[in-house]
Amino acid sequence: MSAPTPNPTRWFTEEIQPHEPALRSYLRGSFPEMRDVDDVVQESYLRIWKTCTTQSVTSAKAFLFTVARRIALNVVRKNHNAPFVALGDFAESGVLEDKPDACDQLIVQERINLLADALLTLSPRCRDVVILHKVKGVPQREVAAQLGLSERTVESHVRTGVARCTAYIASRTDSVSHRHEA
């Protein structure tokens, strides 16, 4: 477990509360059958407060939306507020969307930003190699030819770069996914 958030009151005021209007809008749009949006918001705040006083949270907005979404799902399930109507063919219903919801999009963007930050910690040459090979999918042989390096050097840069990025991301997330279960 990582250290608690320094000055949790300030962190909560600056990092969590500004997202309340967007959170309420998300909850109303995603769970229209739920009557107690205020209760979900307050319960989310309570759980986030408890978490930030015992451990660090790396992505406040993503954590807020994830906690609120899980609470809302539990409320809907518990109260049986979601009427289930038999639909013939789901593909024709127009109800299901293939695109991720706002919370999922936010989490993906946070992960992309974290990877970008991790890549910036690498040396320029190592970063170029990792981006070409791991991000763009260019074979190691072609990376070596493009950058004027030996294949062994490319392999070494890939191994080092991936290990450093993995360590960087792990140090920043510190099992965020487990904390989101709060």
> Which two structure tokens, joined as six digits, stand for 40?
């979900």
pTM (predicted TM-score): 0.43
pLDDT for 82 equals 45
Inform me whether the pLDDT recorded for 4 exceeds 80.
no
Look at the chain and report how many structural domains it folds into: 2
Residue that finishes a domain, picked among 77, 97, 117: 97
Q: How far apart are CA 178 and CA 180, in angstroms?
A: 5
CATH no. for residue 156?
1.10.10.10
Residue bearing the bigger pLDDT, 182 or 44: 44
The predicted-structure confidence for 130-163, as pLDDT tens digits, reads as follows 989 988 899 999 999 999 999 999 999 999 999 9
91 and 1 assigned to the same domain:
yes
89 and 106 assigned to the same domain:
no
85 and 158 assigned to the same domain:
no
Range of the domain at 48: 1-97
The predicted-structure confidence for 70-83, as pLDDT tens digits, reads as follows 988 888 877 654 45
74 and 125 assigned to the same domain:
no
67 and 129 assigned to the same domain:
no
Residue bearing the bigger pLDDT, 41 or 99: 41
Q: Stretch 37-53: mean pLDDT, rounded?
A: 86
Residue that finishes a domain, picked among 97, 116, 145: 97
DSSP codes of every residue in the chain:
-PPPPSSHHHHIIIIIGGGHHHHHHHHHHH-TT-S-HHHHHHHHHHHHHHHHTTS--S-HHHHHHHHHHHHHHHHHHHHT-S-----S-HHHHS---SS--HHHHHHHHHHHHHHHHHHHTS-HHHHHHHIIIIIS---HHHHHHHHT--HHHHHHHHHHHHHHHHHHHHHHHSSHHHHTT-
pLDDT for 89 equals 54
Inform me whether the pLDDT recorded for 64 exceeds 50.
yes
pLDDT for 92 equals 55
111 and 170 assigned to the same domain:
yes
86 and 113 assigned to the same domain:
no
Inform me whether the pLDDT recorded for 182 exceeds 50.
no
78 and 168 assigned to the same domain:
no
